[in-house]
Amino acid sequence: MTARLRMTRAERSEQTRAELVEAARTVFLRRGFHGASLDEISAEAGYTTGAVYSRFGGKDELFLAVVDDHLERRTRLYADAAEDAGDFESAHREIMRAAIAVGREEPRWTPLLMEFWTHAARDDELRAAVAERNQRNLDASAQLQEAVADRHGTTLLRSPQEMQRAVTAMARGLSLERQIVPDAGLEALFEDCVIALLRAFTEPRSTE
């Protein structure tokens, strides 16, 4: 594998941390939050259980690290997807296409995240940690949407946060359903609904 002997302590522990997060992501997706054991995760990364406690506060904190990593990647992905589109609506079609593609690759991400949310809702401190990440994610999406609207001369009739919440809610609801009823029609339905919502909540900017 990677050479371990030449690394400083800081490099070494940072690498361990990253490997554990990556393994945790894999195993959490495979087994769900409750179903995944720290044994399996640490073994997947080539360590023992104690390593998790050396780098993280416990199972919850490890999961939060997975979430942070995930949100960063997704934020970049969507920003890139919107980059080259010619108008407001097709920018959103590109974002949706990207969202649908990653949804196919990792259909269990949304159920996993929602499973964790439900777990976190019962613990004040953990819920706050989740809420903060949710807000960060919402702000990033809203900022992207505003930028896209600006770039293509579109006026939002609702705050971008609200629009993002609605779209995300629908995406999550459909992802959850898909795990019970795999159905390709859900993706097309999702696209049509989002376009309908966008049209209802935006208008071309008057050139004044």
Partner DNA sequence: TGTACATCAGTGAACGCGCGTTCACTGATGTAC
Looking at the Cβ atoms of 57 and 204, the one nearer to DNA is: 57
Least distance to DNA, CB of residue 175, Å: 24
Give phi and psi for 204, each to the nearest 5.
-60, 145
Looking at the Cβ atoms of 90 and 134, the one nearer to a second copy is: 134
Least distance to DNA, CB of residue 108, Å: 17
Looking at the Cβ atoms of 20 and 156, the one nearer to a second copy is: 156
Least distance to DNA, CB of residue 69, Å: 17
CA angle 167, 125, 121 (to 5 degrees): 45
Query: Which spans of this chain sit near DNA (rule: CB under 7 A)?
Result: 4-10, 12-13, 15-17, 36-40, 42, 46-55, 58-60
Looking at the Cβ atoms of 65 and 167, the one nearer to a second copy is: 167
**Which of a second copy, DNA, none sits in contact with 200, Cβ below 5 to 8 A by type?**
a second copy
**Which of DNA, a second copy, none sits in contact with 47, Cβ below 5 to 8 A by type?**
DNA
User: Which tokens sit at 145?
Assistant: 């949407």
Looking at the Cβ atoms of 44 and 187, the one nearer to a second copy is: 187
CA distance 181 to 178: 5
Kindly state the greatest CA–CA separation across the chain: 66
**Residue pair 17/68 in contact by the 8 Å Cβ criterion:** no
CA distance 149 to 88: 6
Query: Which spans of this chain sit near a second copy (rule: CB under 8 A)?
Result: 31-32, 34-35, 111-112, 114-115, 117-122, 127, 130-131, 134-135, 162, 165-166, 168-174, 176-177, 179-181, 185-186, 189, 193, 196-197, 199-201
**Residue pair 51/13 in contact by the 8 Å Cβ criterion:** no
Q: How far is CA 15 from the centre of its chain?
A: 23
With tokens 């990792």, the residue in question is: 106
